Amino acid sequence: MHRLRTTVVRLRPIAAPQTAKSQSQARLAAVGGALRTFQPMRSYTASVSAEPFLNGTSSNYVEEMYYAWLENPRSVHKSWDIFFRNANAGAPPGAAYQSPPPLGGAALGLANAQAMVGVQPNVEKLVEDHLAVQSLVRAYQVRGHHIAKLDPLDISVVDFDEAPVMVGLKKVEFYGLDESDLDKVFRLPTTTFIGGSESTLPLREIIQRLEMAYCQSIGVEFMFINDLEQCQWIRQKFERPGIMQFTLEEKRTLLARMVRSTRFEEFLQRKWSSEKRFGLEGCESLIPALKTIIDKSSMNGVESIIMGMPHRGRLNVLANVIRKELDQIFCQFDSKLEAADEGSGDVKYHLGMWHRRINRVTDRNITLSLMANPSHLEAVDPVVQGKTKAEQFYCGDTEGNRVMSILLHGDAAFAGQGVVYETFHLSDLPSYTTHGTIHVVVNNQIGFTTDPRVARSSSYPTDVAKVVNAPIFHVNADDPEAVMYVCNVAAEWRATFHKDVVVDLVCYRRNGHNEMDEPMFTQPLMYKQIKKQKGVLQKYAEKLIAEGAVTRQEYEEEIAKYDKICEEAHTRSKDEKILHIKHWLDSPWPVCVCFFKMDGQPKSMTSPSTGLTEEELGHIGHIASSVPVEDFTIHGGLSRILKGRAAMVGQRVCDWALGEYMAFGSLLKEGTHIRLSGQDVERGTFSHRHHVLHDQNVDKRICIPMNHIAPNQAPYTVCNSSLSEYGVLGFELGFAMASPNALVLWEAQFGDFHNTAQCIIDQFICPGQAKWVRQNGIVLLLPHGMEGMGPEHSSARPERFLQMCNEDPDAYPKFSAEEFAVRQLYDCNWIIVNCSTPANYFHVLRRQILQPFRKPLIVFTPKSLLRHPDAKSNFDDMLTGTHFQRLIPDSGPVCEKPDGVKRIVFCTGKVYYELTRERKNRGMDNTVAIARIEQLSPFPFDQVKVETDRYPNADLVWCQEEHKNQGYYDYVKPRLRTTVDRTRPVRYAGRGPAAAPATGNKAAHLVELQRFLDTAFNLDAFTGQS
Ligand SMILES: Cc1ncc(C[n+]2csc(CCOP(=O)(O)OP(=O)(O)O)c2C)c(N)n1
Ligand SMILES: [Mg+2]
C-alpha cells in the first residue's frame, strides 16, 4: 500500500528534481531550527490514485515511466504519454487511460475525451512484456543477495522463508516470457543502470548484467528503503557496467594491507602461541576494509573518526588501522610490566587508543580513536555515538562533515544485543544524530560455540539495521576487491546522505573463539571445511600474480618487509619496563581546555565557593519566571507556575526547580555547556521543570529561556530522549567524555528505570577511571522516594550504587581537616548525594564543574519535595561564600543543650521532613537531634564525627524509609561505627527487610511509615538490645 501511495503522489508534476541530499538537508534544517517543525515530506492529493489498473505491482513500473516522461515525454511509449498528459490535465479516475476504440462505433464518454489526447492502438502486449522485464530487474534488485556468493566456506544456510528466487536465464517463464524472448531487445526501465549508456538491451544481456551486479561476491539489500533517490543512488553504484575495476596502484595497496593484516596475526601466534588475542584469522580483509572507509572519508573532508569495536581483531586494528606503535602492543604481552598509573587497568584487547596522523592516501591530518570498552558486547555503541556527537558539537560540525563514527560488530552480538537497536533509534533524532555511522560486521557465522540457526530468528545478523532504512552491503570477505568496493560505496553513502550504512563481511573464524579454544567439539563439519580453506591473502596474491599486477618476488618482499618491522618492534618492546595506561587513553581532553597541569594532575586541590551574588540569583530567577520572546502565548497553567516563581524570587527563596535553574543558568553564563537528556526532561516528569515553553497558538514553536541568560553564555541543550535507558545513558556518557567543560546530565524517568542501563553503570561509570584512566563528570538524576506509589517508581536502588563505592568503611581517612573533603572526592570512584534542600542541589551541581577534577555524580532526586512547602531554600544559602553541605546538622533547640540530647537520628533525603514533623508532634525538639547526611559517598566521616561528639549522651540511630536490606543502612552502619570508633552501637529505624522495594497498598505504606517513626522517637525502643 505504501508503495502505491508513494507512486500516486509522485504522479504529480514536480518543479525540479530534488536531490536526496537536499531532501535530507531540508528535513534536518526543519528539525534543527528553533521551531523544530517536522515538515511533511510528501502530500497525497493525486486524482489518479483511483486509477483501476494501479496496484502494488504495477505502481513501480508506472512510477518509473512517470519519471522518464517528465524528463522527456518521448522516452516512454505513446500510450504512457497520453496517460500522463491526461492525468496531469485532471482527467477523472478511470478516464486518463484510453483503451482502443471499439470497432465501428464511437467511444463512450467521447465528449469527456474531447479535450484529451487522441486514442492509440492496443499496447497491452508491449506493456506486458516490459512489465515482465521490469519485474525481473526488480527481482534481482530485491533478492539478488539471496543467491549472491557471499559465503567463503559455501556452507551458509541463510533461511529465507519466502518462495525461491525466480531469476536466471532458465526462469524467465515465471514472468510470462520464454526462451525465444531472450534475444529480443527491451527498453530498460529507468530504475536500472545496467545499460550504461545504452537504453535498450537484449533480455539475455539484461540477465547477465544483473547477475554480475547482484549475484557475485556482493549482496545488496536496499529495496526496503523508502526513498527513491537513495535507491537510485545505490542502483547506479552497483549496476553500472565496469564499476569493479581498480588501478594497479589500488590493487598493490590492497595487497600490502592484506599482508599487514595477515602477518600481524601470524607474528603474534608465533611469539605468544598460548595467549588469548581473539585474532582476525578468517576475516583479514577487515583491515583493508576499515582503511578504505577511512581513506574515502578523509577524502570527503572527515578529520576525526571515533571507533568502537569488540574483541575480534582489535589488536590488529590498533596496529594496522590506528597505527599504535607495535612495541607498545607487544609489551602488553609481558605480564611482568609494572603499571605506572593509578587504577587497576584492563586487558589488552579492551584498551582504547587515540592517534592523530597524516593519511597517506589523502595527505590530510586525521584523528582516529578507538574507544576502550568492557567485555559486554555492543555496550560501547551508544558511547561512541555520544562522543562523536560531542566532538561534532564542539567544532560546530552540524552535518557531520568533519567528525564521524565507525562501529564494528560480531554477527552474534549485532543480532542479539538490544542496545544495537536502541543505538540505531538514536541515529536520526535531532539531538542525538551523528549524521550517519558506518557499521562493519565481522560475520564469521558463529558466536563462540553457537550457530546462527539457534542464535537469531532473522535471516541475516544485520536485519536490525533495516529499522532505520540503512542499506546493507553483504560481501564475501574472501574477495578483497569486492570488500574494498563496498567500503568505498559505504563511505560515499554516508558522505552523501548522512545516514547509517552496514557492511556485512561474510567470513569465517579460522581458530576457536580464542586461540585456546577447540572448535571441533561443536562445529566439526564447519571446521573441516575451514581447515581446507586457503587463506585469503594467499588467494589474492595468486590472483594478482596471475594478472601480472605484482610479481611473486615483490609479494614475498612485502611480507619480509613487514615481518622485519614486527621483529624490530618486538626487540624494542623488551626494553619497556613500565606500562603506561595513559598511553592507551581514548579521549584525551583538548589541550586548549587546559584542565590539568602538564603532568595530568589537577591544577589545585581546592573547591571554590559555589555561591552566586544576589544580583545573579535575581537575574536568573527573572529569566526562569518569564517568557523572553515576543508574541509567545504560553499555557495558562504555566503562567501560574511562572508567576509563582517570580513570587519566590521576590521573597528570595527557591524551590527545587528554581534551584536547578540557578545552577544551570549560572554555569551557562560562566561558559559551561549544559546538556540535559532523558525521557520527558524538557517539561520534567513531574511537571516542575518547564525548560521548554510551547506556544499555544503556533504548532511546534518553542522557547528555551535558559538560552536567554546572557549574551555570551554557553548553549543549553535540553532534549527529550527516545524511550531507552541503556542507549541514552551510554550516549550521554560518551558526550561527557569529550570535554571536562560541560555539565552532562541524564535523568531517569523514575530512578528504578536506571536498571535497564545497568551495564553502562557497572561497566563504564563506576570503574571507568580505574580501568581506563579517564575521568568523566556525568550526572545521573534518579527520582527516588517512597510515596506510596507501589513497588515500582519508588526506589532508585541507592544500595546498589553505595555498594560499588571504592571507599573503605572500616578506615577513618587520614586527611588534613582543610583538604578532607576534596581529597576524599579525588580518591573516590563516584559521588553519591541525596540532597534535602534546593540550595544543596544547586551547590552540588555547580561543584561538579568548579571542582578541579571530574567524577561521576549520582543524585537521588525527590518527588514530593518538588512541591513541599518546607523544602525551599533561602537565597542566603546560595550566596557567594556558601558551599555544598555534605552534612546538614540540626540547628534547632538541640543545639542549646546538646548534653541533654538523648538520641541523634541520622538520615538522608526526604524522610528528614517526616522525621521533623513527627518530632514536633511529639514535642521532642530538645531531646532528639536530626542530622542529614547529604553526601553519602564519599562518607563525611569528619562532619559525622563533629555531630557524634556534640551529643555525647545520645544513642545513634540510622533512620530510612527504605526497607532494611535496601537503601543506605548497610552502607552507613559500618561507617558510623568507624566514626565513633565502635564505642556506641548504631540502631536502625526503618522498614523491615523485603523482596520488593515498596508495598502496593497505600494504607500499608502509611502504617509502615508510622511504625518506623514510632521506633525513631521511642527512646526505649532499643533498650536491652546489645
Ligand atoms: C553482553 C555479552 N554477553 C556475552 C558475552 C560472552 N561472549 C564473548 S564473545 C561471545 C561470542 C560473540 O560472537 P560474535 O558477536 O559473533 O563475535 P565473534 O567472537 O564471533 O567475533 C560471547 C557470547 C559478552 N562478551 N558480552
Ligand atoms: Mg561471530
For the stretch 993-1025, pLDDT in tens is 999 999 999 999 999 999 999 999 999 999 988
**Which residue reads 540510622 in cell numbers?**
958
Ligand 1, residue 509: give the atom nearest the CA.
20
How far apart CA 462 and CA 41 sit, in angstroms, is 28
Nearest CA residue ID for atom 7, ligand 1: 448
Would you say residue 25 has pLDDT above 50? no
Distance 511 CA to ligand 1 centre (A): 15
CB atoms within 10 A of CB 597: 11
| Maximum C-alpha span of the chain | 121
What are the pLDDT digits (tens) for 509-549? 999 999 889 999 999 999 999 999 999 999 999 999 999 99
The ligand with the least distance to the CA atom of 314 is 1
Ligand 1, residue 375: give the atom nearest the CA.
25
Give the strand order in the sheet containing 716-720.
716-720, 673-678, 742-747, 779-783, 857-861, 831-833, 935-937
The ligand with the least distance to the CA atom of 445 is 2
Mean pLDDT for 735-752 is 96
CB atoms within 10 A of CB 329: 23
Residue-level pLDDT at 7: 34
Residue-level pLDDT at 602: 82
The ligand with the least distance to the CA atom of 313 is 1
Distance 254 CA to ligand 2 centre (A): 24
**In 833-893, which residue ranges form alpha helices assigned H by DSSP?**
838-850
For the chain, the average pLDDT equals 89
Would you say residue 9 has pLDDT above 60? no
Would you say residue 175 has pLDDT above 50? yes
Would you say residue 1 has pLDDT above 60? no
Ligand 1, residue 513: give the atom nearest the CA.
19
Residue-level pLDDT at 565: 97
Would you say residue 39 has pLDDT above 60? no
Ligand 1, residue 379: give the atom nearest the CA.
1
Distance 311 CA to ligand 1 centre (A): 8
Residue-level pLDDT at 1025: 84
Ligand 1, residue 410: give the atom nearest the CA.
15
Mean pLDDT for 634-644 is 97
**In 680-774, which residue ranges form alpha helices assigned H by DSSP?**
726-737, 758-759, 768-772
Would you say residue 332 has pLDDT above 90? no
Extended beta strands in 605-715, E state: 653-654, 673-678, 693-694, 702-703
How far apart CA 861 and CA 908 sit, in angstroms, is 11
Residue-level pLDDT at 122: 56
Least confident of 369-373, 418-422, 441-445, 882-886: 369-373
Distance 208 CA to ligand 2 centre (A): 33
Nearest CA residue ID for atom 26, ligand 1: 376
What are the pLDDT digits (tens) for 840-897? 999 999 999 999 999 999 999 999 999 999 999 999 999 999 999 999 999 999 999 9
**Which residue reads 551486479 in cell numbers?**
213
Ligand 1, residue 411: give the atom nearest the CA.
16
Would you say residue 821 has pLDDT above 70? yes
Residue-level pLDDT at 59: 57
**In 760-885, which residue ranges form alpha helices assigned H by DSSP?**
768-772, 798-803, 820-827, 838-850
Ligand 1, residue 417: give the atom nearest the CA.
1
Distance 816 CA to ligand 2 centre (A): 54
Q: List all residues whose CB is within 6 A of at least one atom of ligand 1.
A: 312, 375-377, 410-413, 442, 444, 446-448, 509, 513
CB atoms within 10 A of CB 582: 15
Would you say residue 146 has pLDDT above 50? yes
CA 698 to chain centre: 32
Distance 279 CA to ligand 2 centre (A): 12
Distance 464 CA to ligand 2 centre (A): 16
Would you say residue 594 has pLDDT above 70? no
Choosing from 317, 377, 407, 443 the residue with most ligand 1 atoms within 8 A of its CB, the one to mutate for a pocket test is 377
The ligand with the least distance to the CA atom of 408 is 1
